Amino acid sequence: MTTTPMLAMPNFNDSFIVETDALGDEIGAVLTQQGRSIVFMSRVLGINKQTWSIYAKEMLAIVEAIRTWRPYLLGMRFVIQTDHRSLKYFLDQRVAVPEQQKWVAKLLGYDYEILYRPRLENSVTDALSRRPDNPLLNPLFVSQVTLWDDMRKTTKNDPYMQ
């Protein structure tokens, strides 16, 4: 991730690997093949989804990645790698909440296997779900936007805002 990534062209004779991760208010995924990245995905979650459990966010990352890359994955066997161990048993679990029913329905028809991959080995998707322009990470990064400072200065002098 320290150099410009070279994206590979997909080979539809080989299987794909979907690597996913979710953290805070973002999800990320990478479609790889033979150790080379084909395409990246990173999305910010809406306000309602930010309150979901980490299990639900990780599952949403899987569903969004498969939905996005449907033309690549439909009709082929592929592997999903996640750093959330309980998702490995997703199809064996009892469906308890309406969200799980929706996810099962969206994943029907795909030939896949979910594998657990420890966080230390999941660095590419980890980076996609922890983008530096995320406002939650501002204390860790130097702010590149002075919008908040400008708003504070303007409100101090504006009689209406006071």
Give which of 90, 147, 93, 141 is closest to 114, Cα–Cα.
90
The reply to whether the predicted model has a pTM over 0.85 is no
For position 137, what pLDDT does the model report? 44
Give strand pairing partners of 17: 32, 79
What is the token pair recorded at 111? 């030939």
Total residue count of the chain as it appears in this document: 162
Q: So what's the pLDDT on residue 141?
A: 44
Question: What are the tens digits of pLDDT across the range 104-151?
Answer: 888 888 999 888 887 655 555 555 555 555 554 444 444 456 677 777
Q: Model confidence over 73-113: pLDDT tens digits? A: 999 999 999 887 777 766 666 666 777 788 888 888 899 98
For the chain, domains (ranges, CATH) are 16-131 (3.30.420.10)
Q: What is the dihedral of CA 32, 33, 38, 43, to 10 degrees?
A: -20
pLDDT in the model for residue 93: 67
Average pLDDT over residues 31-58: 88
